């Protein structure tokens, strides 16, 4: 039985909790393997074969290959660890974060330089903008 989750109503936000940590354990472990240069090289040479070495769900593997980070997070990925995929691809943390927002890279960078995403309309699901 899981505890109440009063935190599912922050829009566009996933709290990495026990359920997510269990679901994403091997996905996150795969990500951390990319801290080693030799593993980054093997992953780049054949992504599918490298992913097949990990007991991940097919959905998780597809999400990784599509670089769909929102999907990865929904399937238990944690951004601190998923960031290793971006680092392997030569992407900055800002490019990775931006890719989850539906904005272009330039739009996202511009938003950050102008002070970031406001809390107005982004605090509770259903709040009035």
**Would you tell me which residues interact with other proteins (CB under 8 A)?**
6-7, 10-18, 21, 25, 28-29, 32, 34-37, 40, 69-70, 73, 78-84, 87-88, 92-94, 96-98, 100-102, 108, 111-113, 115-119, 122-124
Per this entry, what is the length of the chain?
A: 129
CB of 66 to other proteins, least distance (A): 16
CB 83 within 8 A of CB 72: no
Please say which residue, 13 or 46, places its beta carbon nearer to other proteins. Answer: 13
CA-based torsion, 119, 121, 125, 128: positive or negative: positive
The minimum distance between CB 8 and other proteins, in angstroms, equals: 10
Closest-CA residue to 98 (of 81, 79, 84): 79
Task: Confirm if 59 and 8 have CB atoms less than 8 A apart.
Answer: no
Q: How far is the CB of 120 from other proteins (least distance, A)?
A: 10
């Amino acid at each position: 039985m899981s505890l109440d989750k009063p935190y599912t109503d922050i829009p566009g936000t996933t709290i990495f909790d026990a359920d997510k940590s269990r679901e994403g354990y091997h996905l996150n472990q795969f990500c951390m393997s990319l801290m080693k240069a030799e593993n980054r090289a093997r992953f780049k040479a054949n992504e599918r074969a490298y992913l097949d070495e990990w007991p991940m769900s097919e959905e998780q593997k597809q999400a990784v290959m599509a670089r769909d980070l929102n999907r990865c997070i929904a399937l238990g990925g944690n951004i601190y660890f998923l960031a290793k995929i971006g680092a392997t691809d030569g992407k900055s943390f800002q490019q990775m974060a931006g890719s989850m927002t539906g904005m272009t890279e330039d739009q996202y960078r511009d938003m950050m330089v102008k002070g970031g995403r406001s809390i107005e309309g982004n605090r509770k699901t259903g709040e009035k903008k």
